[in-house]
Chains A and B, each alone.
Chain A
Amino acid sequence: MSGDPIARPEPLSLVAEQRAAANTAASALTHGHPSSATPPAVTLEGVQVSFGDHVAVRNVTLAIPARQVTALIGPSGCGKTTLLRAINRLHDHTGGSVEGSIKLGDIDVYGADTRPELIRRRIGMVFQRPNPFPAMSVFENVVSGLRFNGVRGRALLRDAAESALHHAALWDTVKDRLNQPAVGLSGGQQQRLCIARALAVEPEVLLMDEPCSALDPIATAKIENLITRLAADVTIVLVTHNMFQAARVSDQAAVFLLGEDRVGELVEAGATDELFHEPKNPRTRDYVAGRVG
């Protein structure tokens, strides 16, 4: 499966190839057919996000396949976070304006009669830095999203919490301290708690913004393993500036780079192993070879 993030002796394309091979084998077992045949979970068309006069990222047209891991990669400042936050309408509160079309299935995310709260329930998010609610226990953190969405009933909440913690590979670690403060956990555990919190509201899509950038290599490896397993049920969009991480865990990748005018743009997207093996765009080739960014 995914390799050790500390040792990176293998070339990028080889890592991606192993990952692709493992994935094909796995999906052949579970689904009986390659998963790329399923319709996209999220579709972006001509998306541009700007803050006032400043365009942060433009002209993004991308289909995000259901129940796969799609990595958004590129150097820092090229608009990956900005684009990711457009997908669950977090820019509603930051003053960023989103143009173009974003669809969840066939629902227009920015439609006039689309409630942002319902979109965000279906498109979960994991942030760059672990951010469990400090005044809450482990259990309260996991079920907080359910409570926010009006779910009641102790049995139901307990059930959902246990299931989400199992999914986040955290149950065995925290099952005896569910009522203790979440801030007592280690950084990696806190991030997995945030993943459990996001999973508890049963999202279809999970946006992850460099979820390992604040973690040590061992915690990173755990989260990467988790991402690979979660993709069986949930569509994952993973922002990372670490190409090796993208190669290890993603099925699809989209490369973002800064254009001549310092505006981020989507340069190339495709199956991860192909993208790293034989990039079509010369700018992608330079980036993958480590010549820019």
Chain B
Amino acid sequence: MTVASALSRRDLVRAAAQRSLTRRRITGRLAQALCAVAAVASVAPLVALLYYTISRGAQVLSWSFLVNAPTPPGIPGGGISTAITGSAEIVGLALVIAIPIALLAALFLFERSGRLAAALRFSADVLAGVPSIIIGIFAYALLVLPLHAFSNLAAAFALAVLMLPIMIRADEEAMRTIALDLWEAGIALGARRGRVARSVVLRGALPDLVTGNLLAIARAVGETAPLLFTLATPVAAMTLLIYTDGTQAFPIAQETAWGTALVLLAFVLLLSVAAKIAAWRISRRAR
């Protein structure tokens, strides 16, 4: 490469950069505007949904609506207390089933890389894609039919099956954020693998574990289809109540549905805020 040709190449590059400057500036602005529009468009439904639910639901909401048991149609003063406690019980039970199993499975996936781990990971992905109504039928066949009874346990089982694959993959992701070098640091101190898993991997991943599991929980709280097959009455869970009352023509039933929807929304919101605070406190309190 001669000096002269290098110089002329520099001139060429400079000229091209200068010439295209206006065009590049316009494309940049356009792209920015497009992003802004997309951002607003994606938030708009959420805002509308919140506004609509709050404005319709707030009219119904009262202390008695929360603490009173449902009354037969036509009798005033009824509430949704059974649906609230039912939902809480079902979700709580589902968490007790799903969280430990998911954690152990994720630990297994984190530590092993063999064929069994690959098979487990694959089946988790398949399970995550199974429609929730099929999981409902499965719980019906497995727990309702043999026991001749609808039950919160059957509903919780269905929700647990629904949450498991999401939790497993979220937990494994969280553990993978704990780098291999930390795992090795534990091993190099003479620790056994199980101990490193508990003290280094789980502890380090705790904030991420909490946030990851929250997504699965939020998904399960809002599920209706698995409950259709496992609960005897609509007033046994909030989503079921919204589904049955919301599709009725009577204004009173519709109002109940809106009120319940608002309570459910608040429930999910509260759950996310609580989990965020928990994750934040855990990561701060480095004990």
Contact = CB atoms under 8 A, between A and B. Distances in A.
Interface of A: 88, 90, 93, 117-118, 120-121, 124-125, 127, 129, 131, 133-137, 140, 144-145, 147-149, 179-183, 194, 197-198, 201
Nearest to B111: A93
Nearest to B205: A135
Given A117-B192, A144-B186, A145-B190, 10 more contacts: A90-B187, A120-B189, A131-B179, A131-B184, A133-B200, A135-B283, A136-B203, A148-B186, A149-B191, A183-B286
Contact of B189 (A134, A148, A181): A148
Interface in B183-231: 184-192, 195-196, 199-200, 203-204, 206
19 contacts: A90-B184, A90-B187, A120-B190, A129-B181, A131-B179, A131-B182, A133-B203, A135-B203, A136-B203, A137-B286, A137-B287, A140-B286, A140-B287, A145-B191, A148-B191, A148-B195, A179-B287, A183-B286, A198-B189
Interface of B: 179, 181-182, 184-192, 195-196, 199-200, 203-204, 206, 283, 286-287
A201 B189 contact: yes
A136 to B, nearest CB: 6
A135 B184 CA distance: 16
B191 A125 contact: no
B199 A144 contact: yes
A127 B184 contact: yes
A179 to B, nearest CB: 8
Contacts of B186: 133, 144, 148
Given A135-B204, A147-B199, A148-B195, A118 B181 contact: no
B204 A121 contact: no
A131 B187 contact: no
Contacts of A183: 286
Nearest to B186: A148
* Most A C-beta atoms less than 10 A away, residue of B189, B191, B199, B203: B189
Given A131-B181, A135-B206, A148-B199, A121 B189 contact: yes
Contacts of A135: 200, 203-204, 206, 283, 286
Nearest to B192: A117
Nearest to A119: B190
Contacts, number: 84
A129 B182 CA distance: 10
Contacts of A140: 286-287
Contacts of A198: 188-189
B190 A121 contact: yes
B96 to A, nearest CB: 25
Nearest to A122: B190
A125 B206 contact: no
Nearest to A139: B287
B269 to A, nearest CB: 28
B280 to A, nearest CB: 13
A246 B187 CA distance: 27
A127 B191 contact: no
A182 B182 CA distance: 13
Contact of B191 (A93, A117, A180, A181): A117
B190 A117 contact: yes
Contacts of A201: 189-190
Contacts of B199: 133, 144, 147-148
A181 to B, nearest CB: 4
Contact of A149 (B189, B200, B204, B286): B189
A136 B191 contact: no
The 5 closest A-B pairs by CB, nearest first: A121-B190, A148-B191, A145-B189, A181-B286, A125-B188
Nearest to A123: B188
A137 B192 CA distance: 21
Contacts of B196: 148
Contacts of A148: 186, 189-192, 195-196, 199
A88 B286 contact: no
B185 A131 contact: yes
B286 A118 contact: no
* Most B C-beta atoms less than 10 A away, residue of A88, A117, A133: A133
A239 B179 CA distance: 22
Contacts of A133: 182, 185-186, 199-200, 203-204
A241 to B, nearest CB: 19
Given A127-B184, A144-B199, A194-B185, A134 B190 contact: no
Nearest to B182: A131
A148 B189 CA distance: 8
A180 B285 CA distance: 9
Contacts of A181: 286
